[in-house]
Amino acid sequence: QVQLVESGGGLVQAGGSLRLSCAASRAFFRITDMGWYRQAPGNQRELVAGVSSTGTIAHSSTYSDSVKGRFTISRDNAKNSVYLQMNSLKPEDTAVYYCYADLDSSRYWGQGTQVTVSS
C-alpha cells in the first residue's frame, strides 16, 4: 500500500499562487500515474492534473481545460513527491484538492487539502 500526505493548501486572493505537495510513503518507483483531483461543495470530484511515469522516467502530463496554462504538475522521484503549482488562481478554483497514486492496479488517495480563493 501507499500512504499519501498532502500539504500546501490555504487561503489566497484571486490572482495569487499556491503550491501543493504530496509525498508518498513508499514504493514510489512502482507508482505509475500520480496527480490531483479536486472537489467543490455540491460538485463531483474532477481531475485537475496527472503525470505518468515508468520507474524513474516521467512521461506525459495531462490537465483539465479549466487549469491549462495556469497550473503545472511536476514529479520528483528522488523525494517520492508530486507537486501542483497553481498560478493566477480564481474563486472557482476553491475546492478540496486530493492527491492520488496508482500502484499495482489500485488507486490510493490522500486526505485532501483545502484551497480557498477569495475574490
- pLDDT value at residue 56: 59
pLDDT in tens, 7-61: 999 999 999 999 999 999 876 677 888 899 999 999 999 999 999 876 656 668 8
- pLDDT value at residue 60: 82
- pLDDT value at residue 16: 98
Pairing label, strands 10-13, 113-118:
parallel
pLDDT in tens, 81-116: 899 999 999 999 999 999 999 988 899 999 999 999
Phi and psi torsions of 30, nearest 5°? -90, -10
**Neighbouring-strand partners of residue 23:** 5, 81
Check residue 88 and give left, alpha or beta (phi > 0: left; psi -120 to 50: alpha): left
Pairing label, strands 106-109, 46-54:
unpaired
